[in-house]
Structures are given as C-alpha cells and as structure tokens.
Chains A and B, each alone.
Chain A
Amino acid sequence: GNSVTQMEGPVTLSEEAFLTINCTYTATGYPSLFWYVQYPGEGLQLLLKATKADDKGSNKGFEATYRKETTSFHLEKGSVQVSDSAVYFCALSDYSGGSNYKLTFGKGTLLTVNP
C-alpha cells in the first residue's frame, strides 16, 4: 500500500535559519505529492504540490522537488520566520482501486522558529 515517512520532530530553529524537512514515500502508481501546513488552532492549508517527476512546487519561499529516483519530496526554505511555526504534513494522492483516490498523510513535523 501507499505510505509517507517524514522526519520526526519537533524541529526548533532560530529565525533566518535554513529549513529542511525530509519526506519519502511508497506508492504503487504515479502519485501527486503535497505539503500541507497546519497553524495552531486551524485546519490544514495546501502549501505546495507537484504532480509528476522532477516538478518543483514552490510557495511563500518554500520549495520541494518530486524526485522519483529517490522517492522523495523534501521541503526546504532558505530563511525561516517566526510566523512559519506550524505542523507540516507531507502527503501523497494516488489511485487505490475501484473509485478510490486517497490522500495519505505523513505523521507531521512540528516546526518552532524562535526570534
């Protein structure tokens, strides 16, 4: 079956530090890959996505590249801000049989950015 593995948190950084959150996946088909972010007390928001190999998703200074050869979709940001403190979920969407297109989430990584 499909699965997503992302680095265990929590991750604590100082403002303006470089961020990497690792994400690898296992899928039977040709999945689309996503990063969702959940700020405290809120629902999830799509941060970025990539739908095929070598695609790069980017938004708000965050980037991730769909690497089929390493089955990875690592999230990076060059200079984090306090406002980036949140939980980040890597996810994949794939066809799982019948009429089922399922979004599978990783366990989430809590990022805290200190001033």
Chain B
Amino acid sequence: DTEVTQTPKHLVMGMTNKKSLKCEQHMGHRAMYWYKQKAKKPPELMFVYSYEKLSINESVPSRFSPECPNSSLLNLHLHALQPEDSALYLCASSRLFGTTNEKLFFGSGTQLSVL
C-alpha cells in the first residue's frame, strides 16, 4: 500500500463552522505534512510532524490546528476560516524527516471552499 488517503475530497464551509480534514497512510512513514496549494501555484508547507511530534509550523494562523493522534493519522482542524483560506489542502508523508533525499508521497487533497 503506497497510498496517502485524504477525506473529504471536497468541503464547503461557512466562516463560523468547525470542520476537520483527515489523512491516513499505512506505509510505516514517521513524517507527515500538511501543504496548502492555491490554484496555479506550488504547494506551500504548513506543518510537519515527525514521530507524532510537531516539528515545523510555518507561522500558520491559529485557525488551523493540526493533530497527529498516531503514526498513521494526521488531522487538520479548521475554525473561523476566511474566504482567502479556500485552497487545495494536501497531505504528504515520508519515511523519515530530516534528510534531504526523502521522497514525499502526496494524497489527492481536499478542495476547500470557505463562503
């Protein structure tokens, strides 16, 4: 199994809603990532978890709250988002974090629209 599975595929939410994005991998990878991708732009790193501990937070607003409950799961909790947060949210995993030649495996993403 070389897949990273993200749910839901599409999400529409209002600015007062609370929702969560989910990501799962069963490759035994110990590093998991959240990226944000706006249309026709490259992915931007948001968070990195290594061995279930938050290693990198790229100064992301607190309305985005990541959680890594175990080595296979990664969540992104969303609260009080703004319309400009509408984007494709990509989850990725890699065997380890901390070497330059790690291959990242990406999920298909959650297309989020904030109304």
Binding site for B on A (CB under 8 A): 29-32, 34, 36, 41-46, 49, 51, 89, 93-95, 99-103, 105-108, 110
Contact = CB atoms under 8 A, between A and B. Distances in A.
B106 A43 contact: yes
B101 to A, nearest CB: 4
Contact of A42 (B43, B101, B103, B108): B108
B8 to A, nearest CB: 14
A49 B101 contact: yes
A7 to B, nearest CB: 14
B104 interface: yes
Contacts, number: 57
Main secondary structure of the interface of B (DSSP, over half): loop
B4 A51 contact: no
Contacts of A99: 55, 98
Main secondary structure of the interface of A (DSSP, over half): strand
A43 B103 CA distance: 14
Given A44-B43, A108-B40, A101 B108 contact: no
B100 A44 contact: no
- Among A36, A101, A105: residue with most chain B CB under 10 A: A101
A43 B107 contact: yes
B101 A44 contact: no
Given A43-B107, A43-B108, A101 B42 contact: no
